[in-house]
Amino acid sequence: MLKERRSFLRMVATGAGIAATGNLMRTGVHCSPSPAYSIQAKTKLLIAHRGASAYSPENTLEAFRLAIRQGADFIEHDLHITKDGVLVCLHDMTLERTTDVEEVFPDRSRTETVNGRTQQRWYVYDFTVAELKRLDAGFWFDPKFKGTRIPTWQEMIEDTRGKAGLYIETKNPDFYATRGFDMERMVLDQLKKNGLDRPGADSKTPLLIQTFIASSLKKMATELRTKLPLGLLIGESMRAQWLSTEGLIEASKFVTRIGPEKTLLDKTIIEQAQKLGLTIAPYTFRTSGIGTFKSVQEEMAHYLFNLGVDGAITDNPDQFPRRG
């Protein structure tokens, strides 16, 4: 099975397989989705959500490394931009949930009033990368991770390359544009510096770029003309727009994969998407919120083998069910 999976990942990286590109050619949209994400692929993909985030502090090298040890095919990670223009791995736009920023920089917060309630927020974009490196990003999760640091994206690439694929999520690219940062171009430029800017560049490090912001993906596909695989994340508020027949057709013009919140999916949507050449990797499978299932493993197995999705984004890579 391991040999089969490695063979599949080589196929992903090199662009082998059957591409569902006919509908794209008919639209005239400049988008060349990688054949890597063909619906013909038999192997189901294990995508570690923020690394092995059930067991290690999310979006840290420790979580990424553990996910690799647990067999992850891809490491999903989030990107934000520092004050001095460095891409870093972090999920939230603010630092207080996952670091000790309140202790290290008590006077650097912004005061906000939300729903009549005043709160202090420490935004990533208010700090340089050197300042972020002073923060403890592990103690909040478990004292044994004290001293864990926020990794730059370059550190993550160097640490993960050759061991797993990169499942890149750009956070708030539309907001960062208002602050003078072209996040899409920054991401593609950094991939180019690492020799990862085209499908098949590194057979051991396949990748996909995803976000909830459709306009950002369209920009990468049309204006920046990347041929790298792109994926559209879909939350509850986006259901009507993107999970209708018309929405799926539109999505297939500029992405090769969709990543809906798992509860939004049913067999009909999955079959419609796959007929359009879209593959599907829903989020997020974790030990909490499994509903009527006995375990997260059983829940993932239902989506993968009964409903037929192509991969699963999970906090628990060690619970991923493999068959075949």
- Token digits of residue 57: 């502090």
- Token digits of residue 279: 């593959």
Distance between CA 22 and CA 86 in Å, rounded?
38
Distance between CA 318 and CA 320 in Å, rounded?
6
- Token digits of residue 295: 């375990």
Cβ neighbourhood burial of 130 (10 Å; 0-12, 13-18, 19+): exposed
Whether 49 is catalytic is yes
Catalytic residue among 30, 49, 77, 302: 49
Alpha helices per DSSP H over the chain: 2-14, 22-27, 61-69, 101-104, 129-132, 153-160, 173-178, 183-193, 214-218, 239-242, 245-251, 267-275, 296-301
Catalytic residue among 77, 80, 91, 302: 91
Name which of 130, 207, 214, 145 is nearest 173 in CA terms: 214
**With left for phi above 0 and alpha for psi between -120 and 50, is residue 106 left, alpha or beta?**
alpha
- Token digits of residue 205: 């490090």
Residue 93 near residue 124, CB atoms below 8 Å: yes
Alpha carbon distances (Å) from 168 to 42, 88, 153, 156: 23, 12, 10, 11
Task: Look up residue 293 and give its DSSP letter.
Answer: S
27 Cβ contact list (under 8 Å, min separation 6): 253
Catalytic residues, by residue number, are 49, 91
